[in-house]
């Protein structure tokens, strides 16, 4: 018996065959999504354990696990501008069992600063949901004896090379602020790399570094203990009443912090849709939104399409920050293996 393709003949046969294959793939994908998940889901978090993003990720996972019927297992991969974490995400199997919490550095800043990135921010990932914006702060150790940004400037001018500053690696968004400070003040503040906001906050409290600009949530316990002092915030927050915002403090380098969930390219769309719906529902839940606000975080909950559009505009905005910092384009060099 002649095959269906031969009976139809020519282009019509090919179109019919392709349509049947497409329908079969869609049906299989939908069936897989209906059964998904049937085992634990790995969540790659591109920051060190104990950082505010890690704390929020674990709280989110604890709430989502019962709803999905499977455990969400956090895997922290901090350091080196988050590039190793993005690379690990890109190379994971696109089956819905690896999802990744990435940020502004991965999508907006790294592509504008590094040649030879091991990942393509536009083609190697599928957006799931934009989750939240960080409210950032500029902090110093209480032991430094500085109470305002003006006083910090005066101290730096007296001792241009005497301060250390916490970064997430050379060229990371926190490091761009350091470069801006050095240009503004004619100083040589030294960048010290850490794997996340938690380690940076602890180093600041111990006066191992003297300046940090990170999400406020990293410093809440230390603020209560009185070991660190805020000089400015990126937005007004009841967590730090009376602290000036960046403009009021005379800091002309705007805020940029945000995080979102993505998956490796090729992850089935029905699975993306399922995860997106759960994450957006959580972000917009009043109780979870209140929890986020207590961590100095503003919930977002953008859909995949909205997240994709946001990345384009945010990357354009990042060009302005890079111009302010004076950071040059350079080749990415993977961290040396220990």
Residue 19 reports pLDDT greater than 70: no
Tokens of 99: 């999802």
Q: For 307-322, how does the pLDDT look when each residue is reduced to its tens digit (9 = 90+)?
A: 999 999 999 999 888 8
Please give the backbone phi and psi of residue 17, each rounded to the nearest 5 degrees, phi first.
Answer: -65, -45
Residue 328: band (very low, low, confident or very high) from pLDDT cuts 50, 70, 90: confident
- Those residues with Cβ within 8 angstroms of residue 17's Cβ, 6 or more apart along the chain or in another chain: 4, 5
Q: Where exactly are the structural domains of the chain? A: 37-134+256-331, 136-249
pLDDT given at position 326:
81
Residue showing tokens 């989750």:
131
- Nearest 5°: the CA angle 151, 154, 158 is 140
Fold classification of 136-249 is: D-Maltodextrin-Binding Protein; domain 2 (3.40.190)
Distance CA 286, CA 241 (A): 23
Please compute, for residue 4, the number of CA atoms within 13 A of its CA located in the half-sphere on the CB side. Answer: 8
Which pLDDT band, with edges at 50, 70 and 90, does 18 fall under? very low
- The kind and range of the H/E element at 260 are strand 258-264
Same fold, 37-134+256-331 and 136-249: yes
pLDDT at residue number 12? 52
| CATH architecture for the domain at 37-134+256-331 | 3-Layer(aba) Sandwich (3.40)
Residue at token pair 């060009």: 319
In contact, 332 and 114? CB cutoff 8 Å: yes
**pLDDT tens-digit map of 97-139:** 999 999 999 999 999 999 999 999 999 999 999 999 999 999 9
């Amino acid at each position: 018996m002649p095959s269906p393709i031969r009976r139809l003949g020519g282009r019509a046969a090919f179109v019919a065959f392709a349509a049947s294959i497409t329908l079969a793939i869609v049906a299989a994908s939908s069936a897989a999504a209906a059964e998904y998940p049937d085992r634990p889901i790995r969540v790659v978090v591109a920051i060190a354990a104990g950082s505010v993003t890690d704390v929020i990720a674990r709280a989110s996972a604890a709430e989502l696990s019962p709803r999905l019927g499977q455990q969400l297992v956090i895997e922290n991969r901090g350091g080196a501008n988050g590039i190793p974490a993005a690379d690990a995400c890109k190379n994971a199997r696109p089956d819905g069992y690896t999802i990744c919490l990435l940020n502004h550095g991965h999508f907006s800043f790294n592509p504008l600063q590094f040649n030879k990135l091991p990942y393509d921010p536009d083609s190697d990932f599928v957006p799931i949901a934009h989750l939240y914006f960080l409210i950032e702060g500029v902090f110093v150790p209480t032991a430094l004896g500085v109470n305002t940004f003006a006083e910090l400037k005066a101290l730096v001018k007296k001792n241009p090379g005497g301060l250390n500053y916490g970064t997430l690696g050379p060229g990371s968004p926190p490091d761009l602020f350091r470069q801006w400070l050095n240009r503004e003040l004619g100083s040589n503040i030294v960048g010290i790399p850490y794997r996340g906001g938690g380690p940076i906050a602890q180093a600041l409290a111990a006066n191992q570094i003297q300046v940090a600009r990170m999400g406020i949530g990293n410093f809440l316990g230390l603020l209560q203990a009185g070991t660190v002092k805020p000089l400015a915030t990126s937005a007004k927050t009841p967590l730090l009443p009376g602290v000036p915002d960046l403009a009021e403090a005379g800091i002309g380098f705007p805020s940029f912090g945000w995080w979102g969930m993505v998956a490796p390219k090729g992850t089935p769309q029905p699975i993306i849709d399922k995860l997106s719906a759960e994450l957006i529902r959580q972000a917009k839940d009043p109780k979870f939104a209140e929890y986020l606000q207590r961590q100095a975080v503003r919930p977002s909950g953008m859909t995949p399409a909205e997240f994709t559009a946001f990345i384009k505009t945010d990357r354009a905005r990042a060009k302005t920050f890079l111009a302010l910092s004076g950071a040059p384009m350079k080749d990415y060099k993977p961290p040396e293996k220990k």
